[in-house]
Amino acid sequence: MKDKKLDINEIFYSIDGEGITAGQIAIFIRLNSCNLRCSYCDTSYALEAKNNYIDFDHIFDIINQYPSKNITITGGEPLYQQGIIDFIEQLSKRGYRVNIETNGSISVKGLIHIDKTIITLDIKTPYSNMDQENLYENLNYLRGNDVCKFVVGSIEDLEFTYKIIDKYKPKSQIFLSPVYNSIDTADIVEFMKIKGYDNVKLQLQIHKYIWDPDKRGV
């Protein structure tokens, strides 16, 4: 049954490049298929379904080859696949710490009671051309160890971001992530200094500085 399988794009072992787990070793599970088409997407190879279904047991056999207990699930859009909640629950029961990266358009409510999970939730900004797809009720579900991430490509995006922060006051960590080569990072810092919010952090995608920005499997 497909709900006991996942459409897998790639599984690899590297460091986490962004967010609250940046810099730590992790096993990456990238799923195929996404319901959004962001202007800055850097994983277009995972946007469409590939029907490369791998059953849970086989996935566990693969990840058991690695010494780390950190898992990052990304996409595509992981929550777009049936069975993902069950899969994460099984990972948690096996002692894995799971960071799931989601685009913010699908409810995360089913994740919040699973032990050893981090939700890294995008709120889409105008630069993405997908901001109309934000499911803002998700901000009510985020916990202190979760991340609310805003990918920003312009000053307009920064203004939008702070309006959302002021309106919803998420309890999670809050990160600003620049669209690669689209906005001067120093301009983001200056904007942050003017606002003076102590709970907002700048993040850079460190894997794009270690390896070629288009390199896969890292």
Annotated binding-site residue numbers for substrate: 15-17, 30, 74
Binding residues for Mg(2+): 43
Tell me whether strands 200-202 and 70-74 are parallel, antiparallel or unpaired: unpaired
Binding residues: 15-17, 30, 34, 38, 40-43, 74, 76
Binding residues for [4Fe-4S] cluster: 34, 38, 41
Tell me whether strands 173-178 and 147-152 are parallel, antiparallel or unpaired: parallel
CA angle 193, 199, 202 (to 5 degrees): 60
Binding residues for S-adenosyl-L-methionine: 40-42, 76
Residue carrying structure tokens 């050893």: 116
SS3 44: helix
Burial of 32 (0-12, 13-18, 19+ CB in 10 A): buried
Burial of 65 (0-12, 13-18, 19+ CB in 10 A): exposed
